[in-house]
């Protein structure tokens, strides 16, 4: 941020000097050259302003994510300090990988049963996101984790636990087969059903509710605009998908084109 502010100060001074020279009365050739230089300086200024806004937006998003994670961790009152720390580290990840298996296995053995339904939902979401990202298959998960996840899914499917919308996405055929095999005691067959590609693509899908982002509203609802009120046009450039996808070209109200600035998303880790 300090670097951007220094650069903005330098560019603003250059713009001021060039504008004064143009106003002082100079020959047409020099004026033409200075106007081109002025346009270039203003474009650079706008680019730095845009970059600064990207940094501010990303910092704010990271702060909001940290607040949401803190909220979720604090809600797990049955966990001790060490367990809360590990749970918080898990929540920083969008999905798990095989490198997480050792820690996950220990957590599911010692801590899983202490989690609230919300805590279990948060963990399950990341387990199934790892499957959807093809990091592993359900049958490759550690045995203790497979058992806990199977039990939790069965409880939701049979109404023993509140079922989130993500469980409703489970294919009806696979759901019926899973419940049948689970109740018969054939865990191997039940695991094979959960390993089916279509099931793993539908359970805990990304656009459903079991994510840290859903807790942001619980932490700070004041950031959302009032119902029916649109986000101002100038603010839209620093919100939503633009932060992740990058913006190739931006123009200000004077029609000045800002050079390409590649936006970046918060540094979340995949696993490990």
Cβ–Cβ < 8 Å for 210, 169:
no
Identify the pLDDT of residue 237: 40
Indicate yes or no: pTM above 0.75.
Answer: no
Q: Does position 174 have pLDDT exceeding 70, yes or no?
A: yes
- Please state at what angle helix 117-132 crosses helix 143-157, rounded to 10 degrees: 110
Q: Read off the pLDDT of residues 256-271 as tens digits, 9 standing for 90 and up.
A: 333 333 333 334 455 5
Mean pLDDT, to the nearest integer, of 161-188?
Answer: 81
Q: Read off the pLDDT of residues 100-130 as tens digits, 9 standing for 90 and up.
A: 999 999 999 999 999 999 999 899 889 988 9
Identify the pLDDT of residue 31: 84
Would you tell me how many other CB atoms lie within 10 Å of the CB of residue 202? 20
Q: Does position 184 have pLDDT exceeding 60, yes or no?
A: yes
Question: Closest Cα to residue 128, out of 198, 219, 59, 213?
Answer: 198
pLDDT category at 214 given cuts 50, 70, 90 is low
Identify the pLDDT of residue 116: 93
DSSP string, 72-93: HHHH-TTS-HHHHHHHHHHHTB
Identify the pLDDT of residue 271: 55
pLDDT category at 173 given cuts 50, 70, 90 is confident
Extract long-range pairs of 73-79: CB within 8 Å, 24+ residues apart: 75/116, 75/118, 75/119, 76/114, 76/115, 76/116, 76/119, 78/114, 78/115, 78/116, 79/111, 79/114, 79/115
Identify the pLDDT of residue 201: 56
Cβ–Cβ < 8 Å for 142, 155:
no
Q: Taken in order 27, 28, 30, 35, is the CA torsion positive or negative?
A: positive
pLDDT category at 6 given cuts 50, 70, 90 is confident
């Amino acid at each position: 941020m300090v670097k951007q502010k220094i650069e903005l100060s330098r560019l603003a001074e250059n713009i001021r000097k060039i504008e004064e020279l143009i106003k002082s009365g100079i020959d047409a050739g020099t004026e033409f050259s200075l106007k081109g230089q002025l346009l270039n300086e203003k474009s650079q200024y706008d680019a730095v302003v845009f970059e600064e806004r990207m940094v501010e937006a990303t910092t704010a998003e990271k702060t909001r994510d940290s607040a949401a994670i803190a909220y979720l961790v604090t809600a797990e009152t049955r966990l001790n300090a060490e367990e809360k720390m590990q749970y918080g580290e898990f929540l920083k990840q969008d999905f798990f990988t095989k490198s997480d298996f050792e820690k996950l296995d220990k957590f599911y053995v010692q801590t899983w049963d202490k989690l609230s339904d919300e805590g279990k939902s948060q963990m399950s979401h990341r387990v199934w996101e790892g499957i959807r990202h093809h990091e592993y298959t359900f049958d490759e998960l550690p045995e203790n984790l497979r058992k806990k996840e199977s039990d939790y899914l069965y409880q939701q499917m049979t109404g023993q636990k509140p079922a989130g919308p993500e469980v409703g996405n489970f294919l009806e055929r696979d759901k019926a087969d899973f419940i049948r095999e689970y109740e018969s005691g054939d865990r191997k067959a039940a695991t094979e059903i959960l390993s089916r590609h279509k099931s793993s693509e539908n359970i805990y899908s990304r656009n459903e509710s079991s994510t840290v982002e859903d807790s942001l509203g619980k932490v700070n609802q004041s950031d959302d605009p009032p119902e029916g009120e649109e986000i101002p046009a100038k603010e839209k450039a620093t919100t939503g998908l633009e932060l992740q996808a990058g913006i190739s070209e931006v123009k200000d109200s004077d029609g000045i084109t800002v050079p390409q600035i590649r936006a970046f998303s918060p540094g979340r880790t995949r696993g490990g």
